[in-house]
Structure 1
Amino acid sequence: MPEPDTGPVPAPVPAPAPVPAPAPVGVPPAGGTVADAPPADFVPVDEAAPLGVEPTPTGHPAVDAALARLEALDGVPADAHVPVYEDVHQRLVDTLAALDRD
């Protein structure tokens, strides 16, 4: 039995052009200008600066205590925030659940 004619063979698809690696922080990209560099007050993630933000008291002691835990994060790198956020979230959930029981 003869093979069916499948037509012309398609040309191979060219590989995509390589993507250049990003320039290091604080260094303009190749062919870039100083305007392309981060601002002078840029703080890299590993050098977290304190924000100096204080929570506003709510008047509810349990909520205020939970929010006070966020103050411990001031100046701490973001990767260390997750356990504190989870703790604060759980405290607030427990506080809301207690309000529903009352």
Structure 2
Amino acid sequence: MSDLMPEPGAEAGAHDDPAGPAPLDVPREPTGDPRVDALVERLADVDHLDTDGHVEVYEDVHGGLRETLSALDARPGPPVPSPASHTYDNRS
């Protein structure tokens, strides 16, 4: 065919499989924590996978978020005073 007439089936979207994976286009906003942001961006991988491939991505992201939260708990914080360190004067 000529350059002016496209080949049959060459129109935009003609090769797209309507039953295949389609992007969900869910907006993802930055959280301010680069570790969490990277995990949230990983969720975009499901846009290119069949449904049965979603579980692996979701489990990976969930595990990463759990590790990130656990790391927050492991940070040393200010010392907690023990109850025995408080002395009270019982004067009347």
Displacement of 1:90: 0.6
| Number of residue pairs aligned between Structure 1 and Structure 2 | 58
CA–CA distance in 2 between the matches of 1:91 and 1:101? 15
CA–CA distance in 1 between the matches of 2:27 and 2:51? 17
Q: Could you say which residue in structure 2 is the equivalent of 1:49?
A: 22
Q: 1 or 2, which has the higher helix percentage?
A: 2
Q: Could you say which residue in structure 1 is the equivalent of 2:51?
A: 78
Q: Could you say which residue in structure 2 is the equivalent of 1:68?
A: 41
Runs of 4+ in 1 over 2 A off after TM superposition: none
Q: Which residue identity lines up with residue 26 of structure 2 in the other structure?
A: V
Q: Which residue identity lines up with residue 83 of structure 1 in the other structure?
A: E
- Report the TM-score, using the length of structure 2 for normalisation: 0.57
What is the Cα-based RMSD across aligned positions, in Å? 1.4
CA–CA distance in 1 between the matches of 2:27 and 2:48? 13
Pick one of 32, 35, 44 that aligns with 1:59. 32
Q: Which residue identity lines up with residue 97 of structure 1 in the other structure?
A: S
Q: Give the fraction of aligned pairs with identical amino acids, expressed as a percent.
A: 50
Q: Could you say which residue in structure 1 is the equivalent of 2:79?
A: none
Q: Could you say which residue in structure 2 is the equivalent of 1:92?
A: 65
Q: Is the 8 A contact 1:51 1:75 kept in 2?
A: no
Q: Which residue identity lines up with residue 82 of structure 1 in the other structure?
A: V
Q: Which residue identity lines up with residue 101 of structure 1 in the other structure?
A: A
Per-residue Cα deviation, 1:30-68 (whole angstroms, up to 9, x for no partner): xxxxxxxxxxxxx54xx2211122311100111111111
